[in-house]
Amino acid sequence: GIVCAAEPELQIDLLDRYLLACEIARIKPFIIFNKIDLLSPEQHSQRTALFSLYRQLHYPVFFLSNKTGEGLEPLRQHLNGVGVIFVGQSGVGKSSVIRALIPTSEARVAELDSLHGRHTTSHTELYHLPQGGYLIDSPGVRAFALSPVDHTTLAQAFIEFRPYLDQCRFQDCSHLHEPGCAIKAAVEQGFISSSRYDRFKTVLASFPKSTY
């Protein structure tokens, strides 16, 4: 589960990097957009439009407010009986979501990486959900860099690229500058969003040259 929020400012490139990491690890991600109580109606519809891209890609998106409780029930249903980990920037409300889902403090059953038992918010914790399943809270991160992968693996991690990947003229197409690139054609025709294609280029450029 990738947690982001109205505040701190949504970092869409960070969200994409988390999604890519999940795809590469074959984990099914979902998105929590928290603190919707802080949004004006205009901002709310802007964010709805933004996240509709991710809904089209079949990533579940949950709009949530811990403050008002709005959106908590659909999230609870989604988590029923499954194991999840929450990741996201520090301050987006991961701990608050967990407190809302698990009212009793005894729910905390294990400290995964702290042997010395000091209660800080900086370690990873495992919680059992009342209705079955479990939840792992990871410490907030300031930055998250995707481990370098080759360009084929990266292209596969953009799930909307997959139907086009075997249609490029060159089998080892990097989807950057080759003629007959099916990905570039799909972007031009509007089948792939140009913001996601831009992200592909940015992420690839962030890797050391030797990996692609």
Minimum CB separation from ligand GDP for residue 123, in Å? 12
String of contacts with ligand GDP for each residue 83-102, x by CB under 6 A: -------xxxxxxx------
140 binds, among ligand GDP, Zn ion, none (CB under 5 to 8 A by kind): ligand GDP
| Identified binder of ligand GDP from the candidate list 60, 133, 140, 148, rule CB under 6 A | 140
- Tell whether residue 38 is a contact of ligand GDP (CB under 6 A): yes
Q: Are 87 and 136 in contact (CB under 8 A)?
A: no
User: Is the backbone of residue 81 left (phi > 0), alpha (psi -120 to 50) or beta?
Assistant: left
| Identified binder of Zn ion from the candidate list 3, 107, 181, 192, rule CB under 5 A | 181
- Tell whether residue 196 is a contact of Zn ion (CB under 5 A): no
Distance CA 55, CA 88 (A): 19
- In terms of CB distance, is 5 or 173 closer to Zn ion? 173
92 binds, among ligand GDP, Zn ion, none (CB under 5 to 8 A by kind): ligand GDP
Residues 156-195 that bind ligand GDP (CB under 6 A): none
- Stretch of 115-123, 126-134, 169-177, 190-198 lying at the interface with Zn ion (CB under 5 A): 169-177
| Identified binder of Zn ion from the candidate list 17, 175, 196, 199, rule CB under 5 A | 175
Q: Binding residues for ligand GDP, per CB under 6 A?
A: 34-35, 37-38, 65-67, 90-96, 140
